[in-house]
Structure 1
Amino acid sequence: MGNWKFLPALIGSVLVVGIVLYVAFYFIFLHFFVDLWWFESLKLEFYFWLRLLYKFFLFGGVTLAFFTIFFLHFWIASRYLGLNPPDDVLGNLEKNRRFQHLADQFMSGSVKIYTPISLILAMVVAIPFYKQWETALLYFYGRDSGLTEPVYGNDISFYLLSYPIYMLIQQELLSTAILIFLLVGILYWLEHNFVPNQRKQYPLGAKIHLIVLIVFVLIYVVWGFLLQRFSLLYTDTHEPVFYGPGFVEIRYQLPLIWLGIITFLATAITASIFVFSDQHRIKAPFIISLLAFIGVLLLPKSQFIPDLIQKYIVAPNPVKAEKPFMDNNIKATLDAYDLKNIKTIDLTIKLNATQDIETWGNQKRFENIPVWDREYLIDSYKQLQEIRPYYRFLAVDEDRYFILDHTRQVNLAAREVNISKLPEAAQNWENTHLRYTHGYGAVVTPAAQDADKPLVWYLRDLNMYSDVGLNVKHPDIYFGQEQYDYAIVPNKLNIVGIAGTASMEGEEYKGEGGIPISSYFRKALLSFYFQDPKIFFSVNISTRSQLLMRRNITERITRIAPFLHLDKDPYLVLSNDRFYWIQDAYTLSPWYPVSKSAADDFLEGNQKFNYIRNSVKIIVDALDGDVDFYISDPSDAIIQAYRRIYPGLFKNLEEMPAELRKHLRYPRDLYYLQMKVYARYHQRTPELFYEQAETWQFANVRRQPVRPYYQTMDFGNCNNREEFVMINPMTPVNRDNLSMIGVAGIVDGANCGLDYKPGITVYRFGKEVQVNGPAQVEALINQNPEISAQFTLWGRYGSTVKMGRMIILPMGNTILYVQPIYLVSIKTKIPELTRVIVSIGNEVVMDRTLWSAFERLKKIYIQGAAQTEGAETLKAIEKPEGE
């Protein structure tokens, strides 16, 4: 019976060991090996090891440093703890030997006690560094950007790369110093009061030790005050007028910070003298300096003085008082959002558009006007080209290809696999992971097309039919935008009738983008990882099989480079060999000094930031899953730091294959964000910025903002070469007339080559002539009796009339508006492009083709010009002689 008393302890020990082994296996051993194999499949094993070593070496180094600090101070304290007997105790030789033996025991015991305590404290302090290990690396690998901010004159890279880690280090060191001072002080107090036979006075070494600790606390507090100066650069108290420090912060709060440093040092010095010096123990200096320091600390919490300054100095002269600070905010914000080099063209709009119609009105300019909206086109793709129930089109992309001896803008979409529409009995493990493993092919249609005709296809069907020469050798899509589960290919199943034509049936996976399942050990480990025993027991998996995982391109990229922020719209690119995905990626920071924070509708996750660069273009192979990172903005200090941190991960943009490089574009999300900021910050003088009289907003139509859209057109910049640009119209705040048209492109205007040179041109309209905005043009359309009658007639025959996105283009000194009209069947939901409306000035014409509508519009203006000229001639003839 006596042995049974150990049973609960034995069971408890077994449970603890089991839990530890389970956690170690699943969360360390298992994930480590699968991640390693996955990075090896991407040929990024060096990068995998580097990130791992960075993370744990930094954590280990910081832990060791703080362990040394804690242990050293505890050991020094134990050196004086209990070893300060009076002389009469040491006078007796035998007592002296006994005391020395006691001291030796005490020292060795102290080491055993302080070692685990120091280690635990060091690990707790090091946890924030572990969480922000990449921030620390940015500091170590960062370099100056060459730009300085105007308030303190520091390089911008100091705020982007150094300031965040400085704040963390200061907080951790200050907390550590205070903690050590308290613990060591307690030890000395215990020694003085509870260890027998001690002198009345503290040992000199103990006093020196405590003074040193106080000095460290002082240093870290002063450092905190110095860092507090930089926090003024991120104040938002002056919004909505401007962002950043103003007159009150720089003329009042900044001197208070310096005064706080002085009074704090004075308090610390007088307090040290009062505590440690019996000869100079005078209360008055200490009390005076302490009260002064408390007063300085309390002043910022009171709004009395700032309110007085605001009321009697700033408010009567707001522009004069805040002018340099508003100027700082304008310049910083334009630079932080890469807007300082925008090219502005003042465009005078002419009421008589005859000359522009004659000059610009050639048919070539209408071959790429995108009358097909991707929001409507996706329904046609789904109804006509998904073909099989397990295929799905997720989104329509826009691009340009050289087709029929001409660069043409197209819409295209990948046919990805999704088995959710199969019968429930067919959604089994074998079908999900071995049979229905990938999408197949894509569809391509022109963005411009005549109305009232069937949709034109450049690439269609599962046989990848194209009558314009588009051809893809490997049209399989294993990696895409769908939420793919893992797939195991090739396998032993005889797969027929899944993808392609009869000649393509049963073709095995030709890619190299998976984890080889070459042994039972790998099969077992992957089974545990996915918690799916079928991987291990399936007889249809061979030694040539590969497991494809993380096949969603967003998940795939984020797993590799979580420090990059991804655009919400990756797009498909066709090459002669296979499909690729191009993903724009950004570097963000909330630490750009004096820059206005971005709105919260840009990227998912609502991350706060006030600096952005489209610094990386990412290519993902849809067949292999290979991921390549190309630096598209070498001026970005953040991405250059990452390039030094991870050598070999990033490539120069010039290394991107030319076949893919010609499909780069200006990101839609970035342009939307930039224009949202520029709508206010284009007012570059403090006086105009304060008035906000020229603030813009996105043009609105049907109560919806007109978002930036892609357009392929010759703007006369590169020898009749079409450019693929983004168009963005804006109006004055709370008005409908047009103020500007922004054009964002990537063509190098100097040499018109393949070099990626993103830039924005703003065509700004004068106030002499009102330029109709989208809402006003739509009102003209609705007021046209012929058009309104036709809309009513169409609505009677089981269809709904839908107005697509309005296209707005500068054409010389005239603005051209193109409005596509769709008929959407109530039964099938398939949209049909039925008419196109063209408008210039206050004239509106509807027809089946852009060119015919434009020709009719041209006749109206030519006739109007002729009538005007005839009237002026008649008036001159009738004018009496001599007048």
Structure 2
Amino acid sequence: MRNWKLLPAITVATLVVAIVLYVAFYFVFLDFFVDLWWFRSLEFEAYFWLKLLYRFIFSGAVTAFFFAVFLFHFWIASRYLGLNPPDEILMDDSKRRRFQRFADVFMSGSSKIYTPISLLLAVVIAVPFYLQWEQALLFFFGSASGIVDPVYGNDVSFYMFSYPIYMLIQKELLTTALVVFLATGVLYWMEHVFVPNQSKEFPLGAKVHLAVLFSFVVLFVVWGFLLERFSLLYSAGNEPVFFGPGFVELRYKLPLIWLEVLFFLAIAISAVFYALSEKHRSKTPIIVASLGFLAIWGLQSSHTLPELIEKFIVKPNFTRTEGESIRHNIDATMAAFDLNNIKTVDFQVNVDATKDIEAWSTKKHFENIPVWDREFLIDSYMQLQGIRPYYGFPTVDEDRYFINGHHQQVNLAAREVNIDKLPKEAQNWENTHLRYTHGYGAVISPAAQDAGIPIVWYLRDLNMTSDVGFSVKYPDIYYGLEKYRYAIVPNNLAVTDISSSAPGDSLDYQGNSGISIPSLFRKMLFAFYLKDEKIFFSPNISTQSKVLLRRNIDERITELTPFLHLDKDPYLVVNKDRFYWIQDAYTLSNYYPVSKPAADDYLDGEHKFNYIRNSVKIVVDAYDGSVDYYISDPKDPIINAYNRAYPGVFKTLREMPDELVQHLRYPRDLYYMQMKIYAKYHQNSPELFYEQAETWQFATVDGQSVSPYFITMDFDRCNDLEEFVMINPMTPVHRDNLSMVGIAGTIDENSCDHSYKPGITIFKFPKAVQVNGPSQVNALIDQNPEIAAQFTLWNQQGSEVKKGRMVILTMGNSILYVQPIYMLATKTKIPELARVIVSIGNQVVMDKTLQAAFSRLKDLFIKGANGSVSGISSAEGK
């Protein structure tokens, strides 16, 4: 009968133990060992242990510290300073023994209670530290940047590394001090209630103890007020005019913070003296100080006085009262977004472009101007080079390669595997994880081609055909942009004719990465980890097999280094040995003083930041998945802090192989963001910034913004050296004429070689001269009767005419526009490059080749007669 009564308790205990064991097995044991094996396979085991050590030593030390604080004060309160019997009790033996018995019971009994309570409170207090342990890492390993904030004169590294941790420490220490003060007070009160024969007054020791604890509370509150001063550096109250503290913040709110400190200290000191003094107690100092503090608090909370200051002092003379604050905002934002090294060139535009056309007609490799847009080209790649149903091209990249004696811009894409494209009945476990495990090869085509002919291929087909010298030893792509599932290779399946078109090629995986499965025990563990029992029971998995995990490169990098933020456009690089992915990575901070925060459309839109650096270039081997980190901005204090914290993880850019250095580029996302900010902040005087008369915006065509695009061209800066740059045109706000063309490249103009030295050059056009913007050139194209008639004819022949990206180039003292025209077949939707339109000034011509169109444009300017040469060639009719 008794056993039946115990059954519910036994059942509950069994369930609890089972749940604990399940959680421990799946979320501690399995995750820990799989992560360890995975990091070890990438040769990052030391980094794995170091991360673990930092996280748990830091959180453990914090927990131990707070536990000691709670335990120490509770112990003192219960053992030494609280008991206060009158003298007559101590002189009477029976009463003294009775008092001592109660005291002993209280002290020993309370110790059993406050020890676990201290541990529980310490864990709760330490949780925020555990969650922000990486910020603490920057605090310990960060160093001075050498840049001083203009308001308080602190190094900006104080705000990026120390200030966030100080705010966290202040909050947690204040909470701890309040809890200890209140709990200790309750403990003293309980002693007087439960231990008999106590005197009415607290003993002096107890009063001193409580006074010390109260002083700690005061100290941490005052520290909070002092830290509040720095929050003014991130004030958004003056937007949209400027960001940061202005006249009201520095002349009104900052003095109020100092007055808050003074009145609060007055309240605290008065309260302590009142509590400790036994005679001549007066509440007047406390009342006066409290009223003063409440008055200051009311002034801080009120909006009336700041609005009156704005109305009668600031706005009547805005640039004088706020000029210094605007200057601080401009300087900080330019520094935080790395805009101080922009080179500005005043571009003088010639109305007569004849000389420029003649000079550029003989320019070397003029045909390198790209006329194939990757947005259109991906459909052609899919239709013409997908070849197998399970292959696809997630994206098309641009790059430059040394081909036919010069650097030529190309489009290229990796042929990756996508199991979802197989028939449903073929999407089984064996095909998914053992057979269709990787992509194969890539396609490359020149970005500049003639119209009306099939696409020219530099690398094509599964046999990797190339007429220009491309050859790859390991063309298999196990890691890429697709959403790869786990794969187990090599295995016992006889897989033939899936990737290579040559039946004799070996398909066995020979890479070093991947987690080996040398035993049935590890096989069982992976079956549990991946929640797939087929791993354990499959006879096709051998002791030579390896499990490949986290094969999407974004997922792979994020798992390794979650503190780096990734550019949305990783790109493929072709090497003689294999394919590589290069991923640009950023370090961010939201604590750069007085810098305007980035908008939500930058990067992933989830991280708020007002400081960014492209501090790391990451190289991922597409064959074996190895990951290498190279510091590309050694001046960045954040990446230097991580480099000190994790020695051996990051390499210098000098250690990167030369064949990869030659393919580094200026990041697309970073350039877009910088130009969006520079569009306003290039007005670098407070007066211009306040007027906003020269604010720019991204140029538009048909309502769509012209995003930065790549081009490879000799810009006469480095002795015929062709540069791979990004170009970005901008127009005045609400206007369509061109204000500037920005060029972002990586060439070192001093040494004139391909060593990596990123920089931006802005070509500014005079405000007195009309320079057509992309939208105006697009209107000229639409208004050309011959071109319009040709478009109408094509649209009636079962095809759809599409305009490609408009390419803008500075050409001597003229601006050249090039726009490709595509025809999309109604049935196949394969785009065909039909024509190329070239425009300078108000002249527009269209032809099959760029050179032919340019020659006819030259004739237009030389003859000087708008109607003497048609805007479309005589051969265009059919």
Displacement of 1:619 after TM fit?
A: 0.2
Q: What displacement does 1:311 show? A: 1.0
Tell me, yes or no, if the aligned pair for 2:746 and 2:754 is still in contact at 8 Å. Answer: no
Q: Deviations over 1:799-826 (max 9, x none)?
A: 0000000000001110000010000111
SS in 2 for 1:176: helix
Distance 1:605 1:24 in 2: 35
Higher mean C-alpha displacement, 376-385 vs 855-864: 855-864
State how 1:330-349 maps to structure 2 within 5 Å.
330-349=330-349
Matched with 1:45 is 45
Alignment of 1:724-873 (within 5 A): 724-864=724-864
User: What is the aligned partner in structure 1 of residue 191 from structure 2?
Assistant: 191
Which residues in structure 2 correspond to 1:398-797 (within 5 Å)? 398-797=398-797
Residue 28 of structure 2 corresponds to which residue in structure 1? 28
Q: Give 1:361 deviation, angstroms.
A: 2.6
CA distance in 2 between counterparts of 1:546 and 1:504 reads 23
Cα separation, 1, equivalents of 2:569 and 2:857: 37
Q: Distance in 1 between matches of 2:185 and 2:138?
A: 37
Correspondence 1:66 to 2:103: no
Query: Per-residue displacement from partner, 1:226-264 (whole Å, max 9, x unpaired)?
Result: 100000000111111000000000000000000100010
Which is further off, 728-737 or 421-430? 421-430
Aligned pairs for 1:263-302 within 5 A: 263-302=263-302
Partner of 1:225: 225
Shift of 1:502: 2.5
Partner of 2:253: 253
- Return the letter of the residue paired with 2:32: F
Q: Secondary structure at the match of 1:757?
A: coil
- 1:148 paired with 2:160, answer no
- The alignment status of 1:122 with 2:100, answered yes or no, reads no
Normalised TM-score (structure 2): 0.98
Partner residue in 1 for 2:159: 159
Identity in percent: 67
Q: Quick one: distance in 2 between partners of 1:219 and 1:81? A: 23
Letter in 2 for 1:385: Q
SS of residue paired to 2:43: coil
Q: Deviations over 1:169-218 (max 9, x none)?
A: 00000011011111111111222344310012111110010000111011
- Contact 1:498–1:505 at 8 Å: present in 2 too? no
Superposition deviation, residue 367 in structure 1: 2.4
Q: Deviations over 1:332-371 (max 9, x none)?
A: 0000100011100011111011111122232534222110
Q: How many residues align?
A: 868
Structure 1 CA distance for aligned equivalents of residues 361 and 203 of structure 2: 97
Is contact 1:389-1:419 (8 Å) kept? Answer: no
Q: Is the 8 A contact 2:102 2:196 kept in 1?
A: no
Per the TM alignment, residue 98 of structure 1 is displaced from its structure 2 partner at its CA by 4.9
Q: State the Cα distance separating 1:785 from its structure 2 match.
A: 1.1
- Where 1:721 maps in the other structure, the secondary structure is coil
Residues 376 and 831 in structure 1, CA contact (< 8 A), matched pair in contact too: yes
Give distance in 2, aligned partners of 1:772 and 1:392. 40
Asked if 1 retains the 8 angstrom alpha-carbon contact of 2:356 and 2:813, the reply is: yes
Tell me, yes or no, if structure 1 residue 54 matches structure 2 residue 51.
no
What amino acid sits opposite 1:762 in the alignment? I
**Secondary structure of 1:340's partner?**
coil
Amino acid at match of 1:451: A
In 2, distance between residues paired with 1:616 and 1:214? 48
Letter in 2 for 1:657: P
1:495 and 1:506 in contact (8 A); partners too: no
Q: Distance in 1 between matches of 2:350 and 2:525?
A: 73
Contact kept in structure 2, 1:497 and 1:505, CA below 8 Å? no
Instruction: Tell me the distance in 1 between the aligned counterparts of 2:453 and 2:49.
Output: 58
Contact 2:723 2:745 in 1 (8 A): yes
**Deviations, residues 49-104 of structure 1 (Å, cap 9, x unaligned):** 11111111111100000000000010111024762111111002354345445434
The letter for the 2-side match of 1:791 is F
Whether the 8 Å CA contact 1:702–1:775 is kept in 2: the answer is yes
What displacement does 1:280 show?
3.6
Q: How many Å separate the matches in 2 of 1:108 and 1:286? A: 39
Q: Work out whether residues 82 and 198 of structure 1, in 8 Å CA contact, stay in contact via their aligned partners in 2.
A: no
Is the CA contact 2:566–2:585 (under 8 Å) kept in the aligned structure 1?
yes
State how far apart, in whole Å, the 1-side matches of 2:81 and 2:162 are: 41
Question: What is the distance in 2 between the residues matched to 1:514 and 1:361?
Answer: 54
Confirm or deny: 8 A CA contact 1:434 1:489 kept in the other structure.
Answer: yes
Give yes or no for contact 2:102–2:195 (8 Å, CA) kept in 1.
Answer: no
State the alpha-carbon separation in 2 of the partners of residues 211 and 772 from structure 1: 76
- For 1:183 and 1:113, locate their aligned partners in 2 and report how far apart those are by CA, in whole Å: 12
Paired residues of 1:148 and 1:156 also in contact (CA < 8 A): yes
In the other structure, the counterpart of 1:319 is 319
- Provide the rounded CA distance (Å) in 2 between the counterparts of 1:611 and 1:801: 43
**Cα pair 2:497 2:503 within 8 Å, conserved:** no
SS at match of 1:724: strand
- The alpha-carbon deviation at position 590 of structure 1 amounts to 0.8
In 2, Cα distance between equivalents of 1:139 and 1:755: 33
Structure 1 contact 350–769 (Cα < 8 Å) conserved: no
Distance in 2, matches of 1:504 and 1:773, equals 57
Partner of 1:876: none
Q: Which amino acid aligns with 2:864?
A: G
8 Å Cα contact 1:80-1:203 kept in structure 2: no
What amino acid is the match of 2:771? V
Q: Distance in 2 between matches of 1:72 and 1:658?
A: 61
* CA displacement at 1:105 relative to structure 2: 4.0
Shift of 1:272: 1.6
* Counterpart residue type for residue 309 of structure 2: I
Q: Is the 8 A contact 1:458 1:467 kept in 2?
A: yes
Contact 2:386 2:415 in 1 (8 A): yes
Judge conservation of contact 1:354–1:865 (CA < 8 Å) in 2: no
Q: Which residue in the other structure is 1:881 paired with?
A: none
**Amino acid aligned to 1:237:** G
Deviates more, 1:617-626 or 1:88-97: 88-97
Q: Secondary structure at the match of 2:569?
A: coil
Query: What is the one-letter code of the residue matched to 1:607?
Result: H
SS of the equivalent of 1:834 reads strand
Unaligned runs of 5+ in 2: 869-878
TM-score, normalization by structure 1 = 0.97
Amino acid at match of 2:629: F
Partner Cα distance (1:749, 1:572) in 2? 26
Residue pair 2:82, 2:203 contacting (<8 A) in 1 also: no
After TM superposition, give the deviation of residue 541 of structure 1 in Å: 0.5
User: What letter is aligned with 1:800?
Assistant: E
Asked if the contact 2:696–2:731 (Cα under 8 Å) also holds between the matched residues in 1, the reply is yes
Write out per-residue CA displacement over residues 375-427 of structure 1, whole angstroms, 9 at most, x where no aligned residue.
Answer: 00000000000000010111000000001111100000000001212121111
Would you say the 8 A contact 2:570–2:582 is kept in 1?
yes
C-alpha distance in 2 between matches for 1:462 and 1:272: 85
